[in-house]
Amino acid sequence: MRPAPHYLLAPVGSTGDMHPFMSLAKALQRMGRPVTLMGPVFHRALVGRAGIPFIGLGRDEDYQRVIGNPALWHPRKGFKVLFGDFRAPLLDACRALMAFQPDAPRVVIGHPFALPAIAMARELGWQARVVGAYLAPSNLRTVHDPLQLGELRMPRWVPGNARRALWRLLDRTLVDPHGATEVNAARAALGLAPLRQSLLPHMQDVPEVSVTLFPDWFGPPQPDWPRPLLMGDFQLFDADQDAPLPDTLARFLDAGPPPLVVTPGTANAHAAALFALAAQAVQRLGRRAVFLTRHREQLPAALPPSILWEAYVPLGRLLPRAAALVHHGGIGTTAEALRAGVPQLVTPFAWDQFDNAARVKALGAGRWIPAARLGPRKLEAALRALAAPAVRAHCRQVAARFDSATGPEPLCRAIEALLGVAPG
């Protein structure tokens, strides 16, 4: 009789990056599978509250140093910040993988940035089946439309050869000088040969199976995405989802009309300009607002009674009572707003945020303005536009799509079927 595999889930990044993997972990636990989650030690308490066994990587101060660098949120400079000292966490992750030796077949489900370490461990003899999990459509490279590269929307008339050449240019000038250099340094330290290709194509080639943690109505599969490919749903999860709203917030919500909610995400400590503009707009428009950030120093020193600051509130609890959401475009925040049927103004800073923002607009669920181009008049005009009946109607239509979401268990069972590892 085939034993149940032991799953090792390997997310990388902020709280929003952790939550989808935690959703999968809880589903696998409900299915009776042994599960361990491996990620930044900074998230130990978060994962512990969910009752998921945890292997912590790195040091809190290293995580804080990376997210504390304002260049992380720059569309081009962010690659250098993220990959500037990538070899140390790669080697740390590889050592943790090699030490993970449960008495069961192993399946590892990894974030794209975890895949280089997984590849190194496998080349050193570590045995595991590998699944790549992609949180947002732009995590998967394509030359097909829609193709959003930062602020640039690729015109439909640009031929495929030119698009492939552009990707090669981006590899050569933006990604590989930082990312591939660090990966090859880590590989050399382990006696492994350097990569034979650029870093991003390498990461996409590592998994045996690829899965999307977003639905096909948000990001339809492209012909050049890796195969085999399983399309999932948004994995919406929060370890604190059942906690009561803070008393101050509950009273604020009850005291007036639905507020705007403004957040740059859990990890961004450099959005003071966004909050300053939002505070001005709220007062000029006579609105109320809730500002969400764990970094109070980003906010104006004094807030009027119409604006309430909260460090963190589960969006699944707050957004159904909001008038609109102003946010950075992280995939978790985007998905929560789509589920709540609340209009969105997306102000992307970097990474996948531009592509997510463009998809929100294409769904008719909101607008987007790059954070670097946000000004008081643009912000006020966009907030007024979000109140249009057509926008709200589109938001309700999108929210209705979540009624047919299947949850994480069917995706987990499909992974097992494709890998041939289901117990029995």
Distances (CA, A) of 65 to 94, 154, 271: 22, 34, 17
Average pLDDT over residues 46-68: 92
pLDDT of residue 165: 97
Q: What is the pLDDT of residue 31?
A: 97
Q: Is the pLDDT of residue 68 over 90?
A: no
**For residue range 349-403, what is the model confidence (pLDDT) as tens digits?**
999 999 999 999 999 999 999 999 999 999 999 999 999 999 999 999 999 999 9
The topology under which CATH files domain 247-404 is Rossmann fold (3.40.50)
pLDDT value at position 235? 96
Average pLDDT over residues 203-207: 96
Could you tell me the pLDDT band of residue 241, with boundaries at 50, 70 and 90? confident
Q: CB neighbours of 196 closer than 8 A, spacing ≥ 6?
A: none
**pLDDT (0 to 100) of residue 357:** 98
Res. 1: pLDDT tops 80: no
Of 313, 345, 310, 312, which Cα lies nearest the Cα of 327?
345
Domain boundaries, the chain: 6-235+407-419, 247-404
pLDDT bracket for residue 85 (50, 70, 90): confident
Same fold, 6-235+407-419 and 247-404: yes
224 pLDDT higher than 80? yes
Question: Which residue has better confidence, 243 or 203?
Answer: 203
Full DSSP string of 32-95: T--EEEEEEGGGHHHHHHTT--EEEES-HHHHHHHHT-GGGGSTTTHHHHHHTT-HHHHHHHHH
CATH superfamily membership of 6-235+407-419: Glycogen Phosphorylase B; (3.40.50.2000)
- DSSP, residue by residue, 153-172: EPPTTS-HHHHHHHHHHHII
Residue 35's identity, in one-letter code, is: V
Tell me which amino acid residue 287 is.
R
How many whole angstroms separate alpha carbon 200 and alpha carbon 184? 13
Q: What is the pLDDT of residues 120-177, one digit of tens each?
A: 999 999 999 999 999 999 999 999 999 999 999 999 999 999 999 999 999 999 999 9
Percent of the chain with pLDDT over 90: 88
Q: What is the pLDDT of residues 279-295, one digit of tens each?
A: 999 999 999 999 999 99
Q: In whole angstroms, what is the distance from residue 46 CA to residue 400 CA?
A: 30
What is the arithmetic mean of pLDDT over 202-213?
97
Name residue, tokens 């998230």: 43
Residue 424 confidence (pLDDT): 79
Going by C-beta distance under 8 Å and a sequence separation of 6 or more, which residues neighbour residue 3? 104, 105, 423
pLDDT score of 79:
84
Q: What is the mean pLDDT of the chain?
A: 95
The answer on pLDDT for 421 being more than 90 is yes
Compute CA 158 distance to the chain's CA centroid, rounded to the nearest angstrom. Answer: 29
Beta bridge partners of 366: 344
User: Which amino acid is located at 336 in the chain?
Assistant: E
- Compare 424 and 49 and report the one with higher pLDDT: 49
Q: What is the pLDDT of residue 66?
A: 87
Among the listed residues 149, 142, 156, 170, the one whose alpha carbon sits nearest the alpha carbon of residue 353: 149
